Amino acid sequence: MIKIKIRGDTLRAIPYLLPILIAIAFVSVYPFVNGIIKSLYTDQVFGTGTYFSGWENFQEVFADNLFWVGLKNNLVWSFSCVGLELVIGMLIALVLNLPYIKFRSIHRALILLPWATTPVVAALIWRYIFGVMGPLNEMLRAIGIANPPGWLITPGYSLAACIVANIWIGLPFVVVIILAGLQSLPTEAYEAAAIDGAGPFRRFFFLTIPLMKSLLLILVTLTTIWTFNMFDIVFSMTNGGPGNSSLLLSLYAYQNAFAYYQQGYASAIGVICLAILLIPVAFYIKEVRSEN
């Protein structure tokens, strides 16, 4: 019989860790493992049961045209949202960080409001803004554009409209984090650089960016993960339409699991998403742990 000796810190830590361990075991580890196992099973029609089918789900997913549409949209969606949030967020943070800006903390609190707004509420506000007869087209007509498009019902524009809505939610967080990073930069380095005659652009690219490299890397990886898995916006604004032009993988997997009752197929899509996300999450973990 093997005796496991638990002593010292491990023994003392157990009462504190018990609740979190129970929660993680049942609601994180179990569904994670079970979800992956389910991707190896195929659901029979009308919910009559499942049978082991090995890699079949994955083979079908890779042969599924809609999966590739969703994947392409997911990549466009993630890179556009994260890239634009980062660039615009940096510009706004730089403006707010100027020494003579007044009411900085009020600005910062107000800018964060979209981030605290319920995403479904944000989605329906933007669905209204982008409507055929909505305020955006009303403004476009007022400046002389006679026939502005129906943004959400035109294949080339629907995903872009959803991207705008998602940026509105995601941007505030990026601004606030970058602003905090800017405010914690050492002033001595900037004074020295200014004495050496480095202009604002040189200071930004050769001082600010390298000094904030770690913070920016964590921000980018975390935002990428959140954006990639985002479901609420597209579900409520276009439901993937028109003609799957704004279909994201999270939505396609949801439809498979809960509209077509193909949970195995849906979890195979989930496993593929997870595999893609392993890249950003590896960078995130490495960076977070080296910071500690």
Partner 1 sequence: MNIIAALLVILILSPLAMLVLNSFRETSAIYENPLGIAEKPYFGNYARILQNTTFGRNFANSLLVTVVTVSLCIVVTTLAGYAMSRFNFKGKNALILWLLASQAFPGILMIVGIFSMLTRYSLQNNPLGLIILYTTFTIPFCSWLLKGYFDAIPRELEEAGMIDGCTRFKAMRIIIVPMAVPGIIAVGTFAFLLSWNEFFFALVVMRDNINYTLPVFLSRFLGTGGAVEWGPLSAGALLTALPPIIIFLFSQKYLIGGLTKGALK
- Per CB under 8 A, contacts with partner 1 among 88-107 are 92, 95-96, 98, 100-102, 105, 107
CA atoms of 123 and 135, how far apart (whole Å) = 15
Task: Say whether residue 229 binds partner 1 (CB under 8 A).
Answer: yes
**Residue 41: its H or E element:** strand 41-43
Interaction pattern, residues 200-219, with partner 1; x per rule: CB under 8 A: ---------------x--xx
Q: Measured from the CB of residue 196, what is the shortest distance to partner 1 in angstroms?
A: 25
2 φψ region: left (φ > 0), alpha (ψ -120 to 50), beta (else): beta
Task: Say whether residue 289 binds partner 1 (CB under 8 A).
Answer: yes
Site for partner 1 in 34-63 (CB under 8 A): 34-36, 38
Task: Say whether residue 231 binds partner 1 (CB under 8 A).
Answer: yes
Task: Say whether residue 29 binds partner 1 (CB under 8 A).
Answer: yes
Site for partner 1 in 147-166 (CB under 8 A): none
Which residues lie closer than 8 Å to 267 by C-beta, 6 or more apart?
35, 36, 38, 39, 57, 253, 257
Which residue number, 80 or 221, has a Cβ lying nearer to partner 1?
A: 221
CA atoms of 213 and 231, how far apart (whole Å) = 29
Residues 244 and 227: beta-carbon distance below 8 Å: no
Q: Measured from the CB of residue 251, what is the shortest distance to partner 1 in angstroms?
A: 10
Which residues lie closer than 8 Å to 178 by C-beta, 6 or more apart?
89, 90, 93, 212, 215, 216, 219
Q: Measured from the CB of residue 125, what is the shortest distance to partner 1 in angstroms?
A: 5
Site for partner 1 in 117-136 (CB under 8 A): 117-122, 124-129, 131, 133-135
Residues 58 and 39: beta-carbon distance below 8 Å: yes
CA atoms of 78 and 71, how far apart (whole Å) = 10
Which residue number, 36 or 185, has a Cβ lying nearer to partner 1?
A: 36
Which residue number, 82 or 177, has a Cβ lying nearer to partner 1?
A: 177
Q: Measured from the CB of residue 91, what is the shortest distance to partner 1 in angstroms?
A: 9
Task: Say whether residue 240 binds partner 1 (CB under 8 A).
Answer: no
Which residue number, 10 or 59, has a Cβ lying nearer to partner 1?
A: 10
Site for partner 1 in 2-21 (CB under 8 A): 6, 9-10, 12-17, 19-20
CA atoms of 159 and 244, how far apart (whole Å) = 10
Residues 227 and 78: beta-carbon distance below 8 Å: yes
Size of the residue set binding partner 1 (CB under 8 A): 103
Binder among 44, 51, 79, 138 for partner 1 (CB under 8 A): 138
Binding part of the chain for partner 1, among 33-41, 65-73, 185-193, 197-205 by CB under 8 A, reads 33-41
Q: Measured from the CB of residue 74, what is the shortest distance to partner 1 in angstroms?
A: 11
Amino acid letter, 166: N
Q: Which of 215, 221, 210, 213 is nearest to 285 (CA)?
A: 221
Binder among 32, 51, 62, 206 for partner 1 (CB under 8 A): 32
> What is the token pair recorded at 26?
């049942």
CA atoms of 87 and 93, how far apart (whole Å) = 10
